[in-house]
Chains A and B, each alone.
Chain A
Amino acid sequence: MPVVRIAFATNKGGLDDTLADRFGRAPTFTIVEVDTDTGEVKKVEVIENPGYRAGSGAGVKAAQALGDHGAKVYVGPNPGPNATAALQYLGVKVIPLTGATVREALAKALEELKQQ
Protein backbone atom coordinates (compact mmCIF):
# COMPACT_ATOMS: atom_id res chain seq x y z
CA MET A 1 0.00 0.00 0.00
CA PRO A 2 1.96 3.02 -1.17
CA VAL A 3 -0.27 5.94 -0.09
CA VAL A 4 -2.12 5.47 3.17
CA ARG A 5 -3.93 7.68 5.67
CA ILE A 6 -2.60 7.27 9.22
CA ALA A 7 -4.50 8.81 12.15
CA PHE A 8 -2.77 9.98 15.33
CA ALA A 9 -4.57 10.80 18.59
CA THR A 10 -3.42 14.36 19.33
CA ASN A 11 -4.07 17.38 21.52
CA LYS A 12 -3.84 20.48 19.33
CA GLY A 13 -2.91 18.48 16.27
CA GLY A 14 -0.13 18.70 13.69
CA LEU A 15 3.18 16.94 13.09
CA ASP A 16 4.92 18.63 16.03
CA ASP A 17 2.19 17.91 18.59
CA THR A 18 2.67 15.10 21.08
CA LEU A 19 0.34 12.12 21.12
CA ALA A 20 -2.71 12.48 23.36
CA ASP A 21 -2.91 10.22 26.40
CA ARG A 22 -6.23 8.60 25.47
CA PHE A 23 -8.14 7.56 22.37
CA GLY A 24 -11.88 8.18 22.81
CA ARG A 25 -11.46 11.52 24.59
CA ALA A 26 -8.46 12.79 22.62
CA PRO A 27 -9.20 16.41 21.60
CA THR A 28 -8.15 15.95 17.96
CA PHE A 29 -6.88 13.46 15.44
CA THR A 30 -4.07 14.35 13.09
CA ILE A 31 -4.49 12.46 9.86
CA VAL A 32 -1.34 12.14 7.79
CA GLU A 33 -1.48 10.98 4.19
CA VAL A 34 1.85 9.37 3.52
CA ASP A 35 3.64 7.33 0.87
CA THR A 36 4.72 4.25 2.77
CA ASP A 37 7.46 3.44 0.26
CA THR A 38 9.24 6.79 0.25
CA GLY A 39 7.98 8.19 3.57
CA GLU A 40 6.86 11.35 1.75
CA VAL A 41 4.08 13.20 3.57
CA LYS A 42 1.40 14.20 1.05
CA LYS A 43 -1.09 15.90 3.32
CA VAL A 44 -1.68 16.68 7.02
CA GLU A 45 -5.20 17.20 8.24
CA VAL A 46 -6.37 17.91 11.80
CA ILE A 47 -9.94 16.91 12.67
CA GLU A 48 -11.90 17.44 15.87
CA ASN A 49 -12.76 14.26 17.72
CA PRO A 50 -16.55 13.93 18.12
CA GLY A 51 -15.86 11.67 21.11
CA TYR A 52 -14.01 14.43 22.97
CA ARG A 53 -17.19 15.91 24.44
CA ALA A 54 -19.60 13.01 23.83
CA GLY A 55 -21.88 11.97 26.68
CA SER A 56 -21.30 8.29 26.08
CA GLY A 57 -19.80 6.02 23.45
CA ALA A 58 -16.81 8.33 23.01
CA GLY A 59 -14.47 5.61 21.77
CA VAL A 60 -16.94 4.37 19.16
CA LYS A 61 -17.67 7.91 17.96
CA ALA A 62 -13.93 8.52 17.64
CA ALA A 63 -13.52 5.27 15.70
CA GLN A 64 -16.38 6.25 13.42
CA ALA A 65 -14.66 9.59 12.69
CA LEU A 66 -11.45 7.80 11.69
CA GLY A 67 -13.42 5.50 9.41
CA ASP A 68 -15.24 8.44 7.84
CA HIS A 69 -11.92 10.15 7.10
CA GLY A 70 -10.53 7.09 5.40
CA ALA A 71 -7.87 6.27 7.97
CA LYS A 72 -6.48 2.74 7.60
CA VAL A 73 -4.02 2.94 10.50
CA TYR A 74 -4.36 4.49 13.97
CA VAL A 75 -1.37 5.35 16.15
CA GLY A 76 -1.79 6.37 19.81
CA PRO A 77 -2.89 5.07 23.19
CA ASN A 78 -4.77 1.78 23.27
CA PRO A 79 -8.50 2.15 22.54
CA GLY A 80 -11.04 0.57 24.91
CA PRO A 81 -12.93 -2.65 24.12
CA ASN A 82 -15.87 -1.03 22.30
CA ALA A 83 -13.60 1.19 20.23
CA THR A 84 -11.32 -1.73 19.43
CA ALA A 85 -14.28 -3.69 18.05
CA ALA A 86 -15.41 -0.67 16.05
CA LEU A 87 -11.93 -0.06 14.60
CA GLN A 88 -11.67 -3.70 13.63
CA TYR A 89 -15.01 -3.55 11.83
CA LEU A 90 -13.94 -0.33 10.11
CA GLY A 91 -10.69 -1.96 8.98
CA VAL A 92 -8.43 0.42 10.90
CA LYS A 93 -5.19 -1.15 12.11
CA VAL A 94 -4.12 -0.14 15.62
CA ILE A 95 -0.49 0.63 16.50
CA PRO A 96 -0.34 1.37 20.26
CA LEU A 97 2.10 4.14 21.15
CA THR A 98 2.38 6.95 23.71
CA GLY A 99 4.89 9.61 24.73
CA ALA A 100 6.07 10.61 21.27
CA THR A 101 5.55 13.48 18.86
CA VAL A 102 3.48 12.83 15.76
CA ARG A 103 6.65 13.05 13.66
CA GLU A 104 8.36 10.37 15.79
CA ALA A 105 5.22 8.27 15.86
CA LEU A 106 4.94 8.49 12.08
CA ALA A 107 8.50 7.18 11.66
CA LYS A 108 7.74 4.26 13.98
CA ALA A 109 4.47 3.50 12.20
CA LEU A 110 6.17 3.46 8.79
CA GLU A 111 8.79 1.09 10.16
CA GLU A 112 6.13 -1.21 11.52
CA LEU A 113 4.10 -1.15 8.31
CA LYS A 114 7.19 -2.04 6.28
CA GLN A 115 7.84 -5.14 8.38
CA GLN A 116 4.50 -6.62 7.35
Chain B
Amino acid sequence: MPRSVIGVTGGKGGTGKSFVATNLAVLLARRGLSLVLADLDVEAPNDHLLLGVERLENEEPIEVFFPFIDYGKCTACGACAKACDTGAIVMAKGRPPMVMPRLCSGCRACLMVCPYKAIAEDGARVMGYSYVTPVKLSGAGFTLVTGVLREGEEHTPPAIVAAKRRALRVAENADLLIVDTGAGTGNGISAALQETSLVIAVTEPTPMGLHDLAAILEITKGMGKRTWVVVNRSGLGPEDKHLELARKHGVERVFRIPFSKTAALAYARGVPLVDYDPHDPAAEALQGLAEEVYREVA
Protein backbone atom coordinates (compact mmCIF):
# COMPACT_ATOMS: atom_id res chain seq x y z
CA MET B 1 0.00 0.00 0.00
CA PRO B 2 1.10 3.58 -0.63
CA ARG B 3 1.68 5.63 2.53
CA SER B 4 -1.43 7.72 1.87
CA VAL B 5 -4.42 7.52 -0.43
CA ILE B 6 -6.65 10.52 -1.01
CA GLY B 7 -9.68 10.79 -3.26
CA VAL B 8 -10.93 13.64 -5.43
CA THR B 9 -14.64 13.39 -6.23
CA GLY B 10 -17.68 15.65 -6.18
CA GLY B 11 -20.89 14.18 -7.53
CA LYS B 12 -21.55 16.67 -10.30
CA GLY B 13 -19.78 16.45 -13.65
CA GLY B 14 -17.75 19.45 -14.73
CA THR B 15 -17.09 20.89 -11.27
CA GLY B 16 -13.35 20.57 -11.71
CA LYS B 17 -12.47 17.21 -10.15
CA SER B 18 -9.82 16.46 -12.73
CA PHE B 19 -8.68 20.09 -12.70
CA VAL B 20 -8.06 19.89 -8.95
CA ALA B 21 -6.57 16.38 -9.06
CA THR B 22 -4.08 17.10 -11.85
CA ASN B 23 -2.92 20.41 -10.40
CA LEU B 24 -2.55 18.82 -6.95
CA ALA B 25 -0.50 16.00 -8.46
CA VAL B 26 1.83 18.46 -10.21
CA LEU B 27 2.31 20.57 -7.07
CA LEU B 28 2.79 17.65 -4.69
CA ALA B 29 5.24 15.88 -7.00
CA ARG B 30 7.25 19.12 -7.11
CA ARG B 31 7.05 19.24 -3.34
CA GLY B 32 9.04 16.01 -3.36
CA LEU B 33 6.40 13.33 -2.87
CA SER B 34 6.64 10.14 -4.90
CA LEU B 35 3.18 10.14 -6.32
CA VAL B 36 0.70 8.19 -8.44
CA LEU B 37 -2.43 9.76 -9.87
CA ALA B 38 -5.20 7.29 -10.77
CA ASP B 39 -7.76 8.51 -13.29
CA LEU B 40 -10.76 6.29 -12.48
CA ASP B 41 -13.28 8.23 -14.53
CA VAL B 42 -13.36 5.16 -16.78
CA GLU B 43 -16.17 6.39 -19.00
CA ALA B 44 -14.39 9.64 -19.89
CA PRO B 45 -10.84 9.63 -18.54
CA ASN B 46 -9.00 12.80 -19.48
CA ASP B 47 -6.45 13.64 -16.80
CA HIS B 48 -3.79 12.91 -19.42
CA LEU B 49 -5.22 15.63 -21.68
CA LEU B 50 -5.11 18.15 -18.84
CA LEU B 51 -1.48 17.20 -18.24
CA GLY B 52 -0.47 17.49 -21.88
CA VAL B 53 0.29 13.75 -22.11
CA GLU B 54 0.00 12.77 -25.76
CA ARG B 55 -0.41 9.04 -25.46
CA LEU B 56 -1.14 6.56 -22.72
CA GLU B 57 1.42 3.80 -22.28
CA ASN B 58 1.76 0.24 -20.96
CA GLU B 59 -1.70 -0.96 -21.92
CA GLU B 60 -3.17 -3.97 -20.14
CA PRO B 61 -6.61 -5.45 -20.76
CA ILE B 62 -9.16 -5.31 -17.94
CA GLU B 63 -10.61 -8.81 -17.82
CA VAL B 64 -13.75 -9.73 -15.95
CA PHE B 65 -15.38 -13.09 -15.39
CA PHE B 66 -17.77 -14.18 -18.13
CA PRO B 67 -19.87 -17.36 -18.13
CA PHE B 68 -18.89 -19.62 -21.01
CA ILE B 69 -21.37 -22.48 -21.00
CA ASP B 70 -20.42 -26.08 -21.73
CA TYR B 71 -23.46 -27.17 -23.74
CA GLY B 72 -22.53 -30.81 -23.20
CA LYS B 73 -23.11 -30.43 -19.46
CA CYS B 74 -25.92 -27.83 -19.48
CA THR B 75 -29.39 -29.30 -18.88
CA ALA B 76 -31.22 -25.99 -19.46
CA CYS B 77 -32.43 -26.06 -15.83
CA GLY B 78 -32.55 -22.24 -15.71
CA ALA B 79 -30.76 -21.84 -12.34
CA CYS B 80 -28.23 -19.42 -13.82
CA ALA B 81 -30.88 -17.18 -15.39
CA LYS B 82 -32.75 -17.01 -12.08
CA ALA B 83 -29.59 -16.05 -10.21
CA CYS B 84 -28.55 -13.37 -12.72
CA ASP B 85 -29.34 -9.97 -11.25
CA THR B 86 -28.42 -7.93 -14.31
CA GLY B 87 -30.66 -9.73 -16.79
CA ALA B 88 -27.68 -10.96 -18.80
CA ILE B 89 -28.91 -14.56 -19.09
CA VAL B 90 -32.01 -15.40 -21.14
CA MET B 91 -33.67 -18.82 -21.12
CA ALA B 92 -36.06 -20.34 -23.61
CA LYS B 93 -37.79 -23.47 -22.32
CA GLY B 94 -35.70 -26.57 -22.90
CA ARG B 95 -32.89 -24.71 -24.63
CA PRO B 96 -29.48 -23.74 -23.28
CA PRO B 97 -29.26 -20.15 -22.03
CA MET B 98 -28.11 -17.19 -24.07
CA VAL B 99 -25.74 -14.76 -22.33
CA MET B 100 -25.63 -11.08 -23.29
CA PRO B 101 -22.02 -9.99 -22.72
CA ARG B 102 -22.55 -6.30 -22.13
CA LEU B 103 -25.21 -6.82 -19.49
CA CYS B 104 -22.94 -9.18 -17.53
CA SER B 105 -21.16 -7.53 -14.59
CA GLY B 106 -18.94 -10.57 -13.98
CA CYS B 107 -20.40 -11.26 -10.50
CA ARG B 108 -20.09 -15.08 -10.80
CA ALA B 109 -23.54 -15.79 -9.28
CA CYS B 110 -24.34 -18.09 -12.23
CA LEU B 111 -21.10 -20.00 -11.71
CA MET B 112 -21.94 -20.52 -8.03
CA VAL B 113 -25.50 -21.78 -8.57
CA CYS B 114 -24.99 -24.03 -11.61
CA PRO B 115 -25.66 -27.57 -10.27
CA TYR B 116 -23.99 -29.24 -13.26
CA LYS B 117 -20.70 -27.33 -13.31
CA ALA B 118 -21.52 -26.37 -16.87
CA ILE B 119 -19.95 -22.92 -16.55
CA ALA B 120 -16.20 -22.57 -17.00
CA GLU B 121 -14.53 -21.10 -13.91
CA ASP B 122 -11.87 -19.21 -15.78
CA GLY B 123 -13.96 -17.64 -18.54
CA ALA B 124 -13.24 -13.97 -19.03
CA ARG B 125 -13.88 -11.11 -21.38
CA VAL B 126 -12.18 -7.75 -21.87
CA MET B 127 -14.31 -4.82 -20.72
CA GLY B 128 -11.66 -2.14 -20.85
CA TYR B 129 -7.98 -1.26 -20.56
CA SER B 130 -5.66 0.25 -18.01
CA TYR B 131 -2.53 2.28 -18.67
CA VAL B 132 0.54 3.34 -16.72
CA THR B 133 2.10 6.50 -18.10
CA PRO B 134 5.06 8.45 -16.75
CA VAL B 135 4.30 12.19 -16.57
CA LYS B 136 7.41 14.33 -16.94
CA LEU B 137 7.36 17.85 -15.57
CA SER B 138 10.02 20.46 -15.17
CA GLY B 139 11.49 19.76 -11.76
CA ALA B 140 9.60 16.55 -10.98
CA GLY B 141 7.44 13.78 -12.31
CA PHE B 142 4.82 11.28 -11.28
CA THR B 143 2.98 8.26 -12.64
CA LEU B 144 -0.49 8.41 -14.15
CA VAL B 145 -2.66 5.29 -14.07
CA THR B 146 -5.72 5.45 -16.32
CA GLY B 147 -8.72 3.15 -16.57
CA VAL B 148 -10.75 3.08 -19.77
CA LEU B 149 -14.08 1.30 -20.20
CA ARG B 150 -14.90 -0.07 -23.64
CA GLU B 151 -17.69 1.70 -25.45
CA GLY B 152 -21.13 0.22 -24.92
CA GLU B 153 -20.29 -1.44 -21.60
CA GLU B 154 -23.08 -1.19 -19.02
CA HIS B 155 -21.16 -1.71 -15.78
CA THR B 156 -18.39 0.62 -14.62
CA PRO B 157 -17.47 -0.81 -11.17
CA PRO B 158 -15.47 -3.86 -12.36
CA ALA B 159 -13.32 -1.63 -14.60
CA ILE B 160 -12.88 0.97 -11.86
CA VAL B 161 -11.81 -1.67 -9.35
CA ALA B 162 -9.38 -3.28 -11.82
CA ALA B 163 -7.74 0.06 -12.70
CA LYS B 164 -7.56 0.99 -9.02
CA ARG B 165 -5.86 -2.31 -8.17
CA ARG B 166 -3.26 -1.61 -10.82
CA ALA B 167 -2.75 1.88 -9.38
CA LEU B 168 -2.32 0.42 -5.89
CA ARG B 169 0.32 -2.00 -7.25
CA VAL B 170 2.15 0.78 -9.09
CA ALA B 171 1.96 2.98 -5.98
CA GLU B 172 3.05 0.23 -3.61
CA ASN B 173 6.06 2.15 -2.32
CA ALA B 174 4.84 5.64 -3.14
CA ASP B 175 4.17 8.42 -0.65
CA LEU B 176 0.78 9.23 -2.08
CA LEU B 177 -1.89 7.86 -4.38
CA ILE B 178 -4.46 10.39 -5.59
CA VAL B 179 -7.65 8.77 -6.85
CA ASP B 180 -9.66 10.93 -9.27
CA THR B 181 -13.21 9.59 -9.67
CA GLY B 182 -15.84 10.21 -12.31
CA ALA B 183 -19.03 12.11 -11.71
CA GLY B 184 -21.96 10.59 -9.89
CA THR B 185 -22.56 8.72 -6.66
CA GLY B 186 -22.94 5.16 -7.93
CA ASN B 187 -21.26 1.96 -6.78
CA GLY B 188 -18.23 2.73 -8.91
CA ILE B 189 -17.56 5.94 -7.02
CA SER B 190 -17.63 4.32 -3.59
CA ALA B 191 -15.50 1.48 -4.97
CA ALA B 192 -12.94 4.04 -6.17
CA LEU B 193 -12.89 5.74 -2.75
CA GLN B 194 -12.62 2.53 -0.68
CA GLU B 195 -8.93 2.86 0.33
CA THR B 196 -8.85 6.63 0.78
CA SER B 197 -8.21 8.18 4.18
CA LEU B 198 -9.24 11.66 3.02
CA VAL B 199 -11.73 12.70 0.36
CA ILE B 200 -11.76 16.07 -1.39
CA ALA B 201 -15.24 16.83 -2.75
CA VAL B 202 -15.11 19.44 -5.50
CA THR B 203 -18.25 21.49 -6.01
CA GLU B 204 -19.25 24.79 -7.62
CA PRO B 205 -21.51 27.64 -6.49
CA THR B 206 -24.49 26.62 -8.62
CA PRO B 207 -27.78 24.90 -7.70
CA MET B 208 -26.54 21.77 -9.50
CA GLY B 209 -23.26 21.85 -7.61
CA LEU B 210 -25.20 22.14 -4.36
CA HIS B 211 -27.58 19.31 -5.23
CA ASP B 212 -24.82 16.88 -6.15
CA LEU B 213 -22.61 17.93 -3.24
CA ALA B 214 -25.42 16.79 -0.92
CA ALA B 215 -25.41 13.40 -2.65
CA ILE B 216 -21.65 12.87 -2.51
CA LEU B 217 -21.41 14.02 1.12
CA GLU B 218 -24.00 11.37 2.02
CA ILE B 219 -21.66 8.83 0.45
CA THR B 220 -18.49 10.02 2.17
CA LYS B 221 -20.32 10.32 5.49
CA GLY B 222 -21.82 6.86 5.06
CA MET B 223 -18.36 5.47 4.32
CA GLY B 224 -16.95 7.24 7.38
CA LYS B 225 -14.43 9.20 5.31
CA ARG B 226 -12.75 12.39 6.47
CA THR B 227 -13.88 14.96 3.93
CA TRP B 228 -12.78 18.36 2.69
CA VAL B 229 -14.83 20.47 0.30
CA VAL B 230 -13.39 22.60 -2.49
CA VAL B 231 -15.67 25.26 -3.95
CA ASN B 232 -14.32 25.72 -7.45
CA ARG B 233 -15.18 28.81 -9.55
CA SER B 234 -15.88 30.58 -6.28
CA GLY B 235 -17.54 33.95 -6.78
CA LEU B 236 -19.93 32.85 -9.49
CA GLY B 237 -22.89 32.47 -7.15
CA PRO B 238 -24.04 32.08 -3.57
CA GLU B 239 -22.14 29.54 -1.46
CA ASP B 240 -23.92 29.82 1.88
CA LYS B 241 -25.98 26.68 1.35
CA HIS B 242 -22.87 24.76 0.32
CA LEU B 243 -21.18 25.80 3.56
CA GLU B 244 -24.22 24.86 5.64
CA LEU B 245 -24.34 21.47 3.94
CA ALA B 246 -20.63 20.92 4.59
CA ARG B 247 -21.13 21.77 8.28
CA LYS B 248 -24.06 19.41 8.60
CA HIS B 249 -22.05 16.55 7.12
CA GLY B 250 -19.06 17.04 9.38
CA VAL B 251 -16.77 18.30 6.60
CA GLU B 252 -13.45 19.24 8.20
CA ARG B 253 -12.37 22.06 5.94
CA VAL B 254 -13.65 24.15 3.06
CA PHE B 255 -11.36 25.65 0.42
CA ARG B 256 -12.18 28.10 -2.34
CA ILE B 257 -10.70 28.36 -5.80
CA PRO B 258 -11.75 31.71 -7.26
CA PHE B 259 -13.35 31.82 -10.69
CA SER B 260 -10.60 32.55 -13.19
CA LYS B 261 -10.65 33.03 -16.92
CA THR B 262 -6.98 32.10 -16.98
CA ALA B 263 -7.85 28.72 -15.47
CA ALA B 264 -10.25 28.12 -18.36
CA LEU B 265 -7.55 29.08 -20.88
CA ALA B 266 -4.98 26.75 -19.30
CA TYR B 267 -7.62 24.00 -19.24
CA ALA B 268 -8.41 24.49 -22.92
CA ARG B 269 -4.71 24.23 -23.80
CA GLY B 270 -4.01 21.12 -21.79
CA VAL B 271 -1.52 22.81 -19.48
CA PRO B 272 -1.88 22.56 -15.68
CA LEU B 273 -2.91 26.00 -14.41
CA VAL B 274 -0.14 26.02 -11.81
CA ASP B 275 2.34 25.85 -14.70
CA TYR B 276 0.42 28.09 -17.09
CA ASP B 277 0.22 30.98 -14.65
CA PRO B 278 1.46 30.24 -11.12
CA HIS B 279 0.43 33.73 -9.98
CA ASP B 280 -3.17 33.49 -11.07
CA PRO B 281 -5.40 33.67 -7.97
CA ALA B 282 -6.86 30.24 -8.75
CA ALA B 283 -3.34 28.79 -9.04
CA GLU B 284 -2.45 30.34 -5.70
CA ALA B 285 -5.54 28.79 -4.13
CA LEU B 286 -4.47 25.40 -5.51
CA GLN B 287 -1.01 25.93 -4.01
CA GLY B 288 -2.66 26.62 -0.65
CA LEU B 289 -4.71 23.44 -0.94
CA ALA B 290 -1.67 21.41 -1.99
CA GLU B 291 0.24 22.68 1.01
CA GLU B 292 -2.53 21.49 3.35
CA VAL B 293 -2.61 18.09 1.65
CA TYR B 294 1.17 17.92 1.94
CA ARG B 295 0.90 18.52 5.69
CA GLU B 296 -1.62 15.72 5.95
CA VAL B 297 0.45 13.12 4.17
CA ALA B 298 4.09 14.07 4.68
Contacts and interface: CB of A to CB of B under 8 A. Distances in A.
A60 B103 contact: yes
A63 B92 CA distance: 10
Contact of B92 (A55, A59, A60, A90): A90
* Most chain A CB inside 10 Å of its own CB: which residue of B81, B100, B102: B100
A73 to B, nearest CB: 15
A67 B93 CA distance: 8
B88 interface: yes
B92 A67 contact: yes
B154 interface: yes
A89 B92 contact: yes
A67 B78 CA distance: 13
A96 interface: no
Interface in B86-111: 86-88, 90-93, 98, 100, 102-103
Given A86-B98, A89-B90, A91-B92, A56 B103 contact: yes
B154 A60 contact: no
B90 A63 contact: yes
Contacts of A57: 86-88, 100, 103, 154
B155 to A, nearest CB: 8
A10 B33 CA distance: 61
A56 B91 contact: no
Contacts, number: 47
B7 to A, nearest CB: 25
A11 B292 CA distance: 56
Nearest to A56: B86
Dominant secondary structure at the B interface = loop
Contacts of B81: 64
Contacts of A90: 90, 92
Interface in B145-166: 154-155
A63 B155 CA distance: 20
Interface residues of A, number: 19
A82 B100 contact: yes
Interface in A51-91: 51, 54-61, 63-64, 67-68, 82, 85-86, 89-91
Nearest to A63: B90
A60 B88 contact: yes
Contacts of B85: 55
A73 B86 CA distance: 24
A116 B12 CA distance: 52
Interface string B282-293: 000000000000
Nearest to B155: A56
Interface string B35-71: 0000000000000000000000000000000000000
Given A60-B87, A86-B100, 6 more contacts: A57-B88, A60-B90, A64-B81, A67-B93, A85-B98, A90-B90
Interface of A: 51, 54-61, 63-64, 67-68, 82, 85-86, 89-91
Interface of B: 81, 85-88, 90-93, 98, 100, 102-103, 154-155
15 contacts: A56-B155, A57-B87, A57-B88, A60-B87, A61-B87, A63-B90, A64-B81, A64-B91, A67-B92, A67-B93, A85-B100, A86-B90, A86-B100, A90-B92, A91-B92
